[in-house]
Amino acid sequence: MELPAPVEYAVAVDQYLDLAALSSASRRVYQISLAGWAWPLVGAPIPCGPPRRGAVPPVVPLALLDDPVTRSRLAGALSARAAMADARTANRELSALRSAVGWWREQGWVRTDPTAGLRHRHLGALGAPLSAEQVDTLFLLPASLREHAMWRVLYDSGAPAAEVLALDADQLDLSRHRVRSRASSQYGGARVEWREGTSQVLRWLLAGRTWGPVFVTDRRARARARVAVADVYRATGQARMSYRRAAEIFTGLTRPLDATGRGWTLHQLSAAGRGR
């Protein structure tokens, strides 16, 4: 069935996501990524840090994707995003836009591909693993209990941040300081373990809670947000913390500790754990 061409970019995003073969978790990531590109499409910077929370994307005519200036705008935004977050985040967001544009072209909604020529950032841009001294300094930061718990799991286990954020409370075996073996299969069969002190921090964080996402947002999920049931702690309405938000907080808090002034990345922390 031929679909009528939408006028607005946001409507095109919704139609793409409605028909794409994506899991609920992937759909949430794609939704966030594609919404973020709305700012560069109109020549505006993507909000970062606290200002991004609750920020309403600008209205973007879908026809703007065929404007010759759009490609240079996206190229500039990709470079800025890699510097502010990390190369992995920028690459994931570019892949989401590239997939959506490909589908829109198949529908005949846009004629050109504004992502053509844009290259994924080298993962070397993720930076070297943090040193032991840097990690010691990190754990002295006056961050929230949620941040310290997540950072300790990352450092102790060396697991990717996205997979740690996907953990649910019932997957944790705090008496043995690890993810239960059944849940560990999502890590390629590797057992995810941490030190006893980290289990204690997780107990403080969960405060007896045995279900729902381990790491949740500070506020309730917005009623209009499309959040999978499995990604919400129903007792409070708080949603699972996103990789994007966790990365922004980490980079913002560590910026004063970084000689370059850009801040460290969650990948650098995980890599430091794997290198111990």
- Is pLDDT at 145 greater than 80 in this prediction? yes
What are the φ/ψ torsions at residue 44 (nearest 5 degrees)? -110, 150
**Is residue 134 very low, low, confident or very high in pLDDT (cuts 50, 70, 90)?**
very high
- Is pLDDT at 1 greater than 80 in this prediction? no
Question: In the predicted model, what is the mean pLDDT of the chain?
Answer: 85
213-272 pLDDT, tens digit per residue, is: 999 998 776 654 555 677 888 888 888 988 888 988 999 999 999 888 888 988 899 989
pLDDT at 147: 97
The helix or strand, by DSSP H or E, that contains position 252, with its residue range, turns out to be helix 243-254
Q: Tell me how far apart the alpha carbons of residues 141 and 130 are, in angstroms, rounded to a whole number.
A: 15
> Minimal CA–CA distance to 240: which of 221, 264, 224, 261?
221
- Is pLDDT at 26 greater than 90 in this prediction? no
> Minimal CA–CA distance to 153: which of 131, 171, 127, 128?
171
- Scanning the structure block, which residue is given the tokens 């209009």? 224
What are the φ/ψ torsions at residue 55 (nearest 5 degrees)? -70, 135
Domains in the chain, please, with CATH?
A: 9-125 (1.10.150), 127-274 (1.10.443.10)
Q: Which of 106-120, 162-176, 188-202 has the lowest mean pLDDT?
A: 188-202
Using DSSP's 3-state secondary structure scheme, residue 217 falls into strand
- CB of 204 closer than 8 Å to CB of 145: yes
